[in-house]
Amino acid sequence: MEPVCGSTGNYTAKSTYESNLLALLPSLASNGSNQGFYKDTTGRVPDQVYALILCRGDTNTSACRNCLDLARQDALQLCPYNKAATIWYDNCLLRYSNSNFLNSTDNSNVIYMWNTQNVTDDLDKFNKLAGELVNRTSQYAAFNSSRRFGTGEANFTATDPNIYGLAQCTRDLSGDQCYK
Ligand SMILES: *[C@@H]1O[C@H](CO)[C@@H](O)[C@H](O)[C@H]1NC(C)=O
Ligand SMILES: *[C@@H]1O[C@H](CO)[C@@H](O)[C@H](O)[C@H]1NC(C)=O
Ligand SMILES: *[C@@H]1O[C@H](CO)[C@@H](O)[C@H](O)[C@H]1NC(C)=O
Ligand SMILES: *[C@@H]1O[C@H](CO)[C@@H](O)[C@H](O)[C@H]1NC(C)=O
Ligand SMILES: *[C@@H]1O[C@H](CO)[C@@H](O)[C@H](O)[C@H]1NC(C)=O
Ligand SMILES: *[C@@H]1O[C@H](CO)[C@@H](O)[C@H](O)[C@H]1NC(C)=O
Ligand SMILES: *[C@@H]1O[C@H](CO)[C@@H](O)[C@H](O)[C@H]1NC(C)=O
Ligand SMILES: *[C@@H]1O[C@H](CO)[C@@H](O)[C@H](O)[C@H]1NC(C)=O
């Protein structure tokens, strides 16, 4: 789990922004857990809230729902009174803001995470295979999947037989936006 609190201002207790946000967040999970993607907005400027949820393409409705229920609570707790937050888990993503990030390829909340164990043999082979795999799964997610979700495997070595790959975009993006 990894939260990124926003920098577009704070709201106060019992404000219109708070009531808009508290109304919108649960409806994202109830409307979106089935499809694994949902975006919505509520209220009017300056109290308008934009939000989206995304679940991993291979999670089912209940896993998606559980993840989003946790995400909602964590986001409000970890970014208290912040108008914007993004929170990532293995199974889902929740993002909300007073600034309209929907329909855009805004990657300003990028987070890199990596396995701390290193490959020890055939480094060149690993890098080549992993690079091809990432390209292949990204291309599939962007151009061959209406859900913008792709997975793949590559064969590595006898002791470490498989490298697994996964790529996913939000479904409001075009193929080109997704690939970019
Ligand atoms: C919002 O609240 C946080 C935490 O209380 C504070 O650090 C930050 O300065 C506030 N931001 C604004 C724009 O008031
Ligand atoms: C689904 O979203 C719509 C539109 O925002 C909202 O009116 C409705 O209450 C939501 N449904 C549920 C079950 O939360
Ligand atoms: C949904 O996925 C979870 C986690 O993989 C699993 O434990 C659960 O049995 C699945 N539920 C259904 C209804 O398939
Ligand atoms: C995003 O695009 C959709 C489809 O073009 C449109 O209906 C929707 O109003 C847009 N949402 C925002 C928040 O701009
Ligand atoms: C993995 O390699 C990096 C870069 O060479 C190094 O900084 C890091 O300590 C290594 N990690 C382990 C667990 O050996
Ligand atoms: C992956 O794709 C990028 C550009 O789309 C290209 O520059 C790169 O060489 C490719 N990597 C591999 C290992 O195929
Ligand atoms: C993906 O889509 C491209 C372009 O439409 C097509 O040429 C290619 O065969 C498709 N690949 C797969 C694996 O479906
Ligand atoms: C990996 O090896 C298996 C078994 O030898 C084979 O069926 C599969 O097609 C290979 N996958 C790739 C991506 O080369």
Q: Which ligand has the shortest distance to the CA of 42?
A: 2
CA of 27 to the centre of ligand 2 (A): 5
| pLDDT tens for each residue of 147-180 | 999 999 999 987 778 999 999 999 988 999 999 9
Ordered by start, the domain boundaries in the chain are 4-97, 123-179
Mean of pLDDT over the chain: 93
Structure tokens at 151: 């997975």
pLDDT at 106 over 80: no
Looking at 3.60.10.10, 3.30.430.20, 3.30.310.50, 3.40.50.1000, the CATH number of the domain 4-97 comes to 3.30.430.20
Q: Of ligand 8's atoms, which has the minimum distance to the CA of residue 153? A: 13
Q: Of ligand 4's atoms, which has the minimum distance to the CA of residue 100? A: 13
CA of 77 to the centre of ligand 4 (A): 29
The answer to whether 85 and 78 have CB atoms below 8 angstroms apart is yes
Structure tokens at 105: 């390829």
Q: Which pLDDT belongs to residue 18?
A: 98
CA 96 centroid distance within chain: 12
More confident residue, 4 or 19: 19
Q: Which ligand has the shortest distance to the CA of 33?
A: 2
**What DSSP letter does each residue of the chain carry, written as one string?**
-EEEE-SS-B--TT-HHHHHHHHHHHHHHHHHTTTSEEEEEES-TTS-EEEEEEE-TT--HHHHHHHHHHHHHHHHHHSTTBS-EEEE-SSEEEEEESS--TTS---TT------SSPP-S-HHHHHHHHHHHHHHHHHIIIII-TT-EEEEEEE--SSS-EEEEEEE--TTS-HHHHH-
pLDDT at 103 over 90: no
| pLDDT tens for each residue of 108-151 | 777 888 889 888 888 999 999 999 999 999 999 999 999 999 99
The answer to whether 87 and 94 have CB atoms below 8 angstroms apart is yes
Structure tokens at 6: 């926003």
Task: Tell me if 143 CB under 6 Å of ligand 7.
Answer: yes
Distance from the first to the final alpha carbon of the chain: 25
